[in-house]
Amino acid sequence: MQFGELQVELTPEKAYIGAVIGFIFAILSWQVSRGIESIPESSLEYANDNALLLAKSLRGALLALFYSSTILSGFAAVGLVLLAGQLKSKEK
C-alpha cells in the first residue's frame, strides 16, 4: 500500500499485531467505561445545580465515547484478523 510518499507492506503478522492492539484497546475502553458507570450519581456533590447538571452530561458523554470506542476497536480487531487470513491465503 502506498499513502503519498509513505509505502507500507501488509503482512499477516502485522495484521495480527494490529488486531491484538485493537483488542487490548477495546478491553481498556470497556474497563474505563465500566469504572465511570460504577460511580453512583448520589456521590456527585457540587456547589450548585448547574455544576451538577454539567457533571451528569459530561459523564454521559464520556460513557458514550468509551462504549463507542470499545465497539469500534472490536470491529477493527475482527477486520484485521480477517485481513490476515486473506493475506495468508494469498501467500500460499
Range list of H helices, the chain: 12-38, 49-91
The answer to the question of residue 2 being in a domain is: no
The answer to the question of residue 67 being in a domain is: yes
The answer to the question of residue 1 being in a domain is: no
User: What would the pLDDT profile of 1-31 be if each residue is shown by its tens digit?
Assistant: 777 888 888 899 999 999 999 999 999 999 9
Q: Distance between CA atoms of 29 and 62, rounded to whole angstroms? A: 11
The answer to the question of residue 30 being in a domain is: yes
Give the range of the structural domain holding residue 30, as residue numbers without chain letter: 11-91
User: What would the pLDDT profile of 27-39 be if each residue is shown by its tens digit?
Assistant: 999 999 999 999 8
The answer to the question of residue 21 being in a domain is: yes
Rounded to an integer, the average pLDDT of 31-48 is: 86
The answer to the question of residue 6 being in a domain is: no
Q: How far is residue 24 from each of residues 51, 57, 62, measured CA to CA in Å?
A: 34, 28, 19
Residue 65's pLDDT is: 97
Q: Are 18 and 80 in contact (CB under 8 A)?
A: yes
Domain count across the chain:
1
Residue owning grid cell 485493537: 22
